């Protein structure tokens, strides 16, 4: 079934930055003459895919598995040959469907720099449990996540910016707030492709997200389950009696925050101890294994969580394939 028609996109004011203008002017090049031209074209493609609800994960201007999957899903939905390669046909379809600028100027707001921030997020569970909040480590991390960007790309596009100062104008991806076109009736978790697909009541495709899905030592479930609850900004409980990882012997509660191990959203499933959730490390989505759950970027799980209801079907298909070290 064809993808659902998205809501009208917010109008994007073009950036005055020469770097942003170069990205917005990027055209398809089969063999870019410079790394900058290759990066600019990929940034524009990633932003357009994100806005069309074929998430490439972190916008970083780099080719990779998440971009391949997003392009393949886009090609399939548009009736194009499916290979996950950015070619002239895929580029033409992307840019014809969305002609607005990919980049925009943003003035850092007081709330972006107000904090509180955590200087360093510990990896040890007991040390995490000692914190009052698993907040962002810096305004730059907050801003990168706000605009679905890799922090390294944010800094590269704004080399002279003071991200700690409200009133500073920076160049960011023009992703905007784009809710799904309808409520989600069915979620399909593809363990082989490491991908989550959301469908509406008429089986129209609403969104596709890259995901980290289980691992070979602790596979994700199989079969059909349901959404039990949706918990924004959740705490996370480490319970050694129910989990198969970690060295702590006692039960611990990890405070809420974007750097919480399950990120900013927990979509609880009727399969005990399993859920769809966010992550403190968006660059690792689709690249590192999980402890059985389904991990999305914080922004993707927020978008999905806003469109699901208790009882929404969640179907697991395929089989896990090793994607890297368990995290």
Verify whether residue 277 is a known catalytic residue: yes
Verify whether residue 293 is a known catalytic residue: yes
Tell me what pLDDT residue 15 has: 96
Catalytic residue chosen out of the listed positions 53, 148, 291, 293: 293
How confident is the model over 105-109, as a mean pLDDT? 98
Do the Cβ atoms of 253 and 237 come closer than 8 Å? Answer: yes
Q: Checking DSSP bridges between strand 252-254 and strand 212-213, what pairing results, if any? A: unpaired
Q: Any long-range contacts for 237-243 (C-beta under 8 Å, 24+ apart)?
A: 238/125, 238/129, 242/273, 243/273, 243/291
Do the Cβ atoms of 99 and 49 come closer than 8 Å? Answer: no
pLDDT, tens only, 233-286: 999 887 766 655 556 567 889 999 999 999 999 999 999 889 999 999 999 998
**Where in the chain do CATH 2.40.440.10 domains reside?**
186-317
Q: How far apart are the first and last CA of the chain?
A: 36
DSSP label at residue 60: -
pLDDT, tens only, 110-157: 999 999 999 889 988 889 999 999 999 999 999 999 999 999 999 999
Do the Cβ atoms of 313 and 183 come closer than 8 Å? Answer: no
pLDDT, tens only, 53-83: 999 999 999 999 999 999 999 999 999 999 9
Q: Does 218 have pLDDT greater than 70? A: no
Q: Does 324 have pLDDT greater than 70? A: no
Q: Where are the alpha helices (DSSP H) in the chain?
A: 18-24, 35-51, 65-77, 88-97, 110-113, 125-129, 139-146, 151-157, 298-305
Q: Which residue has the tokens 């040890």?
A: 124
Cα gap 180→95, rounded to integer Å: 20
pLDDT category, 41, cuts 50, 70, 90?
very high
CATH class as words, domain 186-317:
mainly beta
Do the Cβ atoms of 264 and 298 come closer than 8 Å? Answer: yes
For every residue of 178-246, DSSP letters joined together read: ---SS--SEEEEETTTTEEEEE-TT--EEEEEE-EE--SSSPPP-EEEEEEEEEES--EEE-TTT-S--
Cα gap 261→284, rounded to integer Å: 13
Catalytic residue chosen out of the listed positions 53, 148, 277, 291: 277
pLDDT category, 7, cuts 50, 70, 90?
low
Please state the pTM of the whole predicted model. Answer: 0.91
Tell me what pLDDT residue 124 has: 86
Please report how the helices 35-51 and 88-97 are oriented relative to each other, as an axis angle in degrees rounded to 10. 50
């Amino acid at each position: 079934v064809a993808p659902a028609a998205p809501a009208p996109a917010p109008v994007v004011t073009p950036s005055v930055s020469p770097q942003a203008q170069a990205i917005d002017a990027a055209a398809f090049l089969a063999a870019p003459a410079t790394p900058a031209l290759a990066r600019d074209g990929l940034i524009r493609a990633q932003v357009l895919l994100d806005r069309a609800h074929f998430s490439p994960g972190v916008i970083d201007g780099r080719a990779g598995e998440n971009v391949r999957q997003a392009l393949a899903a886009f090609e399939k939905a548009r009736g194009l040959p499916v290979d996950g390669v950015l070619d002239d046909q895929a580029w033409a379809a992307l840019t014809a469907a969305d002609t607005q600028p990919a980049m925009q100027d943003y003035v850092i707001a007081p709330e972006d720099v107000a904090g509180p921030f955590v200087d360093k997020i510990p990896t040890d569970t007991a040390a995490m449990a000692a914190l009052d909040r698993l907040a962002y480590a810096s305004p730059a991390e907050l801003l990168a996540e706000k605009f679905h960007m890799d922090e390294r790309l944010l800094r590269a596009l704004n080399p002279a910016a003071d991200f700690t100062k409200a009133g500073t104008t920076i160049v960011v991806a023009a992703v905007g707030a784009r809710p799904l076109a309808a409520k989600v009736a069915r979620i399909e978790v593809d363990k082989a492709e490491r991908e989550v697909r959301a469908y509406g009541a008429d089986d129209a495709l609403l969104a596709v997200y890259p995901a980290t899905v289980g691992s070979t030592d602790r596979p994700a479930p199989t079969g059909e389950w349901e959404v039990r609850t949706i918990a924004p900004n959740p705490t996370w409980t480490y319970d050694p009696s129910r989990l198969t990882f970690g060295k702590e012997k006692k039960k611990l509660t990890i405070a809420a925050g974007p750097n919480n191990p399950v990120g900013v959203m927990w979509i609880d499933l009727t399969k005990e101890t399993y859920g769809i959730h966010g992550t403190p490390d968006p660059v690792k989505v689709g690249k590192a294994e999980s402890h059985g759950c389904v991990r999305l970027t914080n922004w993707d799980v927020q978008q999905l969580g806003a469109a699901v209801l208790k009882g929404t079907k969640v179907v697991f298909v395929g089989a896990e394939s090793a994607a890297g070290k368990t995290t």
